[in-house]
Amino acid sequence: MDARSASPDIVICNNREALARDAAYRFTALALQAISEGRPFRVALSGGSTPRLLYAQLAAPPFQRAIDWSRVEIFFGDERAVPPDAPDSNYRMARDALLAHLPVPAEQIHRMPAEQPDLDAAAQDYEQTLRRAFAPAPGEWPRFDLILLGMGPDGHCASLFPGRPALLETRRLVVATEPGLAPFVPRLTLTFPVINHSAHVLFLIAGMDKAHTVAHMLLRDLPADQLPVLHVSPEEGNVTYLLDREAALLVPSVMDTAGAVGSME
Ligand code: 6PG
């Protein structure tokens, strides 16, 4: 998989388990590629429920043994403004499903400090964490090897929600934001410039409740302000959408009408 930008790949998997397995192979391939090139594999994990099955795959053989986890740096795409042990913490989910089972050095796991009272200061802290880890040249952006994203039924990804000012951020790497949906917990999120400078973006999208949103995404028949995933378009990177059959329910009809690129697995 090279990092030249190409049209997004759409891969339809039979079910959530197949989606997780496909994602585990892709994750592993990208990790082995980075490490073989003599650099750490830097990945931003997604929250939500869909990635949980991927994390369980990575935390067990064969994937657990395939990657030299001492060469992996873990970041997060977004976090809720809750303590790291809170039930709805993205960090807690990733820790319990993945990180607790892997020998990633603690200093290479970069949690978003979203429990801080001043969320904007926390965003700035995490921005410094990214700058220290990636050491981008002045005026350059950190370039992740892989950013994992989910998509909500409202078309949000990370914590970039419809109609929010964060969608239009062009300078900051990380911002504090408010979701437009319950339980209205404030969030920290990577911004689209960071996402769009990633070498690879892998969407994990499952569930019937995403089918209409996937159709709108493929047809691009809504403004990006209403469908934030449309902002994801890496300049020199690849986007792959892994869909389960439920989320892809309307894809055949969309592909007939829109001629969208896709493959079935
Ligand atoms: C979060 C995620 C969010 C998630 C989507 C999809 O903090 O919840 O970052 O963007 O990926 O809401 O969630 P599911 O995978 O549970 O459908």
Alpha helical stretches, state H, the chain: 16-36, 51-58, 63-66, 90-97, 119-134, 192-195, 211-219, 251-258
Mutate to test the pocket of ligand 1, among 16, 19, 45, 50 (most ligand atoms within 8 A of CB): 50
Ligand 1 centroid, distance to 157 Cα (angstroms): 7
Closest-lying ligand 1 atom to the alpha carbon of residue 80: 7
pLDDT, tens digit only, all 265 positions of the chain: 444 455 679 999 999 999 999 999 999 999 999 999 999 999 999 999 999 999 999 999 999 999 999 999 999 999 999 999 999 999 999 999 999 999 999 999 999 999 999 999 999 999 999 999 999 999 999 999 999 999 999 999 999 999 999 999 999 999 999 887 777 899 999 999 999 999 999 999 999 999 999 999 999 999 999 999 999 999 899 999 999 999 999 998 877 765 544 554 4
> If you ran DSSP here, which 8-state letter would residue 112 be given?
-
116 three-state secondary structure: coil
* β-sheet bridge partners, residue 263: 11
Please name the residue whose Cα sits nearest to atom 8 of ligand 1: 48
Residue 180's pLDDT is what? Answer: 74
Residue 79 Cβ < 6 Å to ligand 1: no
Question: What's the CATH number of domain 3-258, 3.40.50.1360, 2.60.40.1120, 3.40.50.150, 3.40.50.2300?
Answer: 3.40.50.1360
**Residue 207: exposure state from Cβ atoms within 10 A (0-12, 13-18, ≥19):** middle
Both tokens of 7, joined, read 């049209």
Ligand 1 centroid, distance to 137 Cα (angstroms): 31
Residue 265's pLDDT is what? Answer: 45
Using CA atoms, how far apart are residues 221 and 152, in angstroms rounded to an integer?
17
Q: How far is CA 237 from CA 111, 220, 225, in A?
A: 24, 20, 22
Ligand 1 centroid, distance to 18 Cα (angstroms): 19
